[in-house]
Amino acid sequence: MVAHNNPDPDAIATGWALCKLIGERLGKPGRVIAGGAVSRAENRRMIQLLKPPLDIVDNLETNPDDAIVLVDCNPLANNHLLQNTSIRPVAVIDHHGPELGSFRVPFRDLRPRTAASATIAAQYIREQQVEPGSDLATAMIYALRTDTRTEQPTLSRLDKSAIAWLTPKADHEKLAGIENAPLPRSYYADMLLAMENTFIHDGAALCFLPQASGPETVAEIADLLVRCEGIHRVLCVAMVEGDVYLSARSSPRGGDANAALQAVLKGLGRGGGHRHRAGGKVPAAACDGIAGPDLHNELRNRWLAACKIEQQRGTRLVPRREILEHL
């Protein structure tokens, strides 16, 4: 199963459920493979506690007998390992519509009215009477929770049925452990620094951190900033151990965060995600030729261009005088 880059809980849980189904009904082994990184603290905790069959790789290596199933994205998207290869999937399972155009595969199941791809996978294993086990059920419930974490979540009848079926099977202690993933003290120092280094450009926020204690900080800050009144698009950027991590977010009015992030990363790094949440990374090797302020300016200019904003000079989220007044 190939998931989109920077796989989220929905992509991981969906791929895992399909591996379970194929293993039990066809006797074939399977893995979930994706590029990029898993950066959010809760998602990293999910992997630690539930141990899904997930491999994060730089390049996809296949054998002639391998069958590739694309989950939680489609072949026309530019946020997965099949991009720019001749590899064609045998199936596509996704809850997003084919907005980018039409494509042909032997089997596809696209259900844009469902809240998550995990809902589709839950229907498959339920119909085949395959018991998910507590860890997979927990992953699928968490996937549904994260993909309905919006101002006005819309649940289809199939979503509600999947939640009702999976909830008694899930390990709710592990679920609580995932949703309350521990954060180091350094995370809070990063958060303070982020508030001091966030600028607003006509409804779009841009936060640059010279460094962060971990990649999860970048996603957390982006999640927090997009909830601010008057902000509809957010890009958070930070250096972590030589690599540059990026997280983009958009509100329901803010357009396609993933498309904007792809424009920022073009020729520099790789990323992926969904319409309102996306993440990516510029590896240290790619940063060597564009260092310090030059990289900062390049990423800022690309982000503002992607947001169609001409205003180059932003205003601080928290004015410096307000910070000094409270010291």
Least confident range from 10-14, 69-73, 187-191: namely 187-191
Phi-psi region of 27 (alpha: psi -120 to 50; beta: other; left: phi over 0): left
Domain final residue, candidates 179, 199, 227: 179
Average pLDDT across the chain, whole number: 87
Q: How far apart are CA 97 and CA 166, in angstroms?
A: 25
Q: Which of 120-129, 142-151, 158-167, 174-183 has the lowest mean pLDDT?
A: 142-151
β-partners of residue 249 are 234, 277
Label residue 247 by pLDDT band (50, 70, 90): very high
Distance of CA 242 to the CA centre of its chain: 21
Give the per-residue pLDDT at 166: 98
| The pLDDT of residue 287 is above 70 | no
Whether 194 and 126 share a structural domain: no
Domain harbouring 136, CATH code: 3.90.1640.10
**Do both 137 and 235 map to the same domain?**
no
Q: How many domains does the chain have?
A: 2
Which of residues 124, 158, 179 is at a domain's end?
Answer: 179
Spatial separation of the C-alpha atoms in residues 251 and 275, rounded to whole Å:
10
175 and 195 in a single domain? The answer is no
Given 155, 179, 203, which residue is the final one in a domain? Answer: 179
- Mark whether 48 and 120 lie in a shared domain: yes
- CA gap 51, 172 in Å, rounded: 16
On whether both 152 and 230 belong to a single domain, the answer is: no
Position 294 scores a pLDDT of 82
Q: What is the DSSP string of 183-203?
A: --HHHHHHHHHHHHTEEEETT
Q: What pLDDT was estimated at residue 109?
A: 93
Note the pLDDT of residue 291: 55
pLDDT above 80 (res 114): yes
Specify whether 159 is located in the same domain as 216.
no
Q: Which range, 93-102, 169-178, 209-218, is most confident?
A: 169-178
| Same domain for 90 and 57 | yes
Answer whether residue 161 shows pLDDT above 90: yes
DSSP designation for 161: H
Mean pLDDT confidence for 245-274: 86
Tell me the per-residue pLDDT of 13-50, one tens digit each, with 9 for 90 and over. 999 999 999 999 999 999 999 998 887 789 999 999 99
**Beta-carbon count within 10 A of 99 CB:** 11
Q: Do 157 and 256 belong together in one domain?
A: no
The answer to whether residues 132 and 240 belong to one domain is no
Is there a single domain that holds both residue 174 and residue 194? no
pLDDT at 85: 84
Q: Is the dihedral of CA 252, 255, 259, 263 positive or negative?
A: negative
DSSP string over 95-145: SS--TT-----SEEEE-TTSS-HHHHHHHHHHHTT---HHHHHHHHHHHHH
Per-residue pLDDT, 150? 58
> Residue 79 has what pLDDT?
74
Instruction: Judge whether residue 65 has pLDDT over 60.
Output: yes
CA 48 to chain centre: 17
The pLDDT, as a whole number, for residue 184 is: 77
The contacts of residue 203 (CB under 8 Å, 6+ apart) are: 230, 231, 232, 233, 254
Q: How confident is the model at residue 118 (pLDDT cuts 50, 70, 90)?
A: very high
Range of the domain at 93: 2-179
Regarding whether 287 and 255 lie in a shared domain, the answer is yes
Q: What is the pLDDT of residue 153?
A: 64
273 and 155 in a single domain? The answer is no
Nearest CA to 217 among 241, 238, 244, 242? 238
Q: What is the pLDDT of residues 73-103, one digit of tens each?
A: 888 776 789 887 888 899 999 987 665 557 8
